[in-house]
């Protein structure tokens, strides 16, 4: 059986949690004898492929175009959506002015259309692609992708509930939970010198969803508190990064690092702080907790479902809550971390995905 995994155009340039998931699932399916290829194209020639796997519904319209291409060529596709309601994953008040005012005052459908138009500018065909879409609503395009899927893999029970709530025409039997796994990254050298130990570490691309600004506000004025930010900013988020720099004088801003270099940064951290409004569940938090580091993360369902008992939770909308969590965070007990690692081995959590593909292979033969 030959499978094409579809990813985002900047897969190789901008490492992320979805890339880790794609790599791990690809290796699991390859170990079962399937051939897995990777492509970011929206018009790939699917001759010779038995199925397509799509990742990340946030990438509308890119993922929609990949799904439409699979339908045109008569190929079944499966979806790992990595989905959460957009207004909760990035609340309007998390944006800088004047975008905050725009998002608060304009109707949701208008904000959604503007976001779709902005995404189309970076897609094949540019803004012209907007006129060719069957809907001006990102949620409608997501619903179309999900409706055509043979299987939808939610990363946790909370994501499954949210998918079924937000897309009521979705068949419940089609949505199964396939949790994300943990494995230690292969060691790599950092591209920069390691900071002096004792800092608060925040890893991730800059932007309102990742919520670095509230972390900067939380620790400003705390005696001896230093923040080390590891991550880049896209042209669209450069202004946000400058706001974080202004709110966190004395902090260190480092470029994104290879995943295998991050444990060296975890080791020197007083706490690893991932204050994102939503993570599903946050692979940096998983890695740091498994490494017995103190971790602070969002007090929302996806993270709680994975990390309860291992990390300290904070309200991402409250700098005071983040500050208290940072100052009181403690590492997980070794026995709890060991149990978490055992329960989240990829060979274990990927079973629902493997079973879906083996069933498809058996049917086709």
Structurally, how many domains does the chain consist of?
Answer: 2
Q: What is the pLDDT of residue 13?
A: 75
Query: What residues make up the domain containing 39?
Result: 2-181+345-364
- Residue 117 domain-assigned? yes
282-296 in b/e form (b: 16+ CB < 10 A) is: bbbbbbbbbbbbbbb
- Whether the per-residue pLDDT at 125 is higher than 70: the answer is no
Least confident among 30-39, 109-118, 208-217, 240-249: 109-118
Least confident among 9-18, 75-84, 111-120, 288-297: 9-18
> What are the DSSP calls for 103-169, one per residue?
HHHS-HHHHHHHHHHHHHHTSTTTTHHHHHSS-S-HHHHHHHHHHH-SEEEESSHHHHHHHHHH-TT
Q: What is the pLDDT of residue 127?
A: 60
d(CA 43, CA 45): 7
- Whether the per-residue pLDDT at 131 is higher than 80: the answer is no
- Residue 33 domain-assigned? yes
Categorize the per-residue pLDDT at 264 as very low, low, confident or very high, splitting at 50, 70 and 90. very high
Q: What is the pLDDT of residue 126?
A: 63
Q: Is 54 helix (H, G, I), strand (E, B) or coil?
A: strand
CATH number of 312's domain: 3.40.50.2000
Together in a domain, 282 and 354 = no
Cα of 179 vs its chain's centroid, Å = 13
CB 297 within 8 Å of CB 321: no
Categorize the per-residue pLDDT at 128 as very low, low, confident or very high, splitting at 50, 70 and 90. low
Length of the chain in terms of residues written = 365
Together in a domain, 174 and 208 = no
Q: Which residue has the higher pLDDT, 48 or 132?
A: 48
- Residue 186 domain-assigned? no
- Residue 266 domain-assigned? yes
- Whether the per-residue pLDDT at 234 is higher than 90: the answer is no
d(CA 280, CA 301): 9
Q: What is the pLDDT of residue 363?
A: 82
- Residue 191 domain-assigned? no
Together in a domain, 236 and 261 = yes
pTM, full prediction: 0.93
Sheet holding 151-154, edge to edge: 35-39, 2-6, 51-55, 77-80, 151-154, 175-177
Least confident among 97-111, 157-171, 250-264, 342-356: 97-111
Segment holding 363, helix H or strand E: helix 351-364
Categorize the per-residue pLDDT at 233 as very low, low, confident or very high, splitting at 50, 70 and 90. confident
- Whether the per-residue pLDDT at 123 is higher than 70: the answer is no
CB 12 within 8 Å of CB 40: no
Contacts of 243 (CB under 8 A, 6+ apart): 96, 213
- Residue 106 domain-assigned? yes
Categorize the per-residue pLDDT at 216 as very low, low, confident or very high, splitting at 50, 70 and 90. very high
For range 215-223, the mean pLDDT: 96
Together in a domain, 143 and 243 = no
Strand-pair partners of 203: 230
Together in a domain, 148 and 224 = no
CB 326 within 8 Å of CB 295: no
**Which of 93, 317, 294, 329 lies closest to 217, judged by CA?**
317
Together in a domain, 294 and 170 = no
d(CA 236, CA 209): 13
Together in a domain, 170 and 210 = no
Together in a domain, 22 and 104 = yes
Together in a domain, 62 and 166 = yes
d(CA 143, CA 360): 23
pLDDT tens digits, one per residue of 170-197: 999 999 999 999 998 899 999 999 999 9
Together in a domain, 139 and 224 = no
d(CA 121, CA 105): 24
Together in a domain, 175 and 207 = no
Q: What is the pLDDT of residue 132?
A: 79
CB 172 within 8 Å of CB 164: yes
d(CA 162, CA 160): 5
């Amino acid at each position: 059986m030959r499978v094409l995994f579809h990813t985002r155009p900047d897969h190789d340039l901008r490492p992320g949690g979805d890339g880790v998931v794609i790599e791990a699932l690809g290796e699991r399916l390859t170990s079962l004898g399937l051939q897995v290829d990777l492509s970011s194209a929206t018009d790939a020639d699917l001759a010779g492929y038995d199925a397509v796997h799509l990742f990340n519904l946030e990438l509308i319209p890119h993922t929609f175009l990949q799904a439409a291409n699979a339908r045109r060529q008569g190929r079944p596709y499966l979806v790992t959506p990595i989905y959460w309601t957009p207004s909760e994953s990035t609340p309007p008040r998390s944006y800088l002015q004047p975008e905050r005012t725009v998002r608060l005052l304009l109707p949701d459908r208008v904000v959604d259309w503007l976001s779709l138009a902005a995404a189309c500018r970076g897609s094949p065909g540019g803004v012209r692609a907007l006129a060719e879409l069957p809907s001006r609503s990102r949620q409608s395009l997501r619903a179309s992708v999900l409706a055509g899927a043979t299987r939808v893999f939610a990363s946790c029970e909370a994501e499954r509930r949210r998918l079924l709530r937000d897309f009521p025409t979705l068949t419940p039997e089609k949505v199964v939970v396939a949790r994300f796994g943990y494995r230690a990254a292969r060691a790599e050298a950092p591209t920069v010198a390691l900071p002096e130990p004792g800092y608060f570490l925040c890893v991730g691309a800059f932007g309102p969803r990742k919520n670095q600004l509230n972390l900067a506000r939380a620790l400003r004025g705390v005696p001896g508190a230093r923040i080390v930010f590891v991550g880049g900013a896209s042209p669209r988020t450069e202004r946000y990064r400058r706001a974080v720099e202004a709110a966190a004088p004395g902090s260190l801003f480092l470029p994104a690092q290879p995943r295998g270099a991050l444990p060296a940064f975890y080791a020197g951290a007083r706490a690893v702080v991932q204050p994102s409004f939503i993570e599903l569940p946050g692979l940096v938090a998983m890695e740091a907790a498994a490494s017995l580091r103190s971790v602070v993360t969002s007090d929302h369902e996806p993270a709680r479902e994975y990390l309860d008992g291992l990390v300290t939770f904070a309200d991402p909308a409250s700098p005071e809550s983040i500050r208290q969590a940072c100052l009181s965070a403690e590492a997980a007990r070794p026995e709890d971390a060991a149990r978490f690692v055992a329960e989240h081995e990829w060979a274990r959590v990927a079973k629902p995905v493997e079973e879906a593909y083996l069933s498809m292979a058996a049917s086709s033969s």
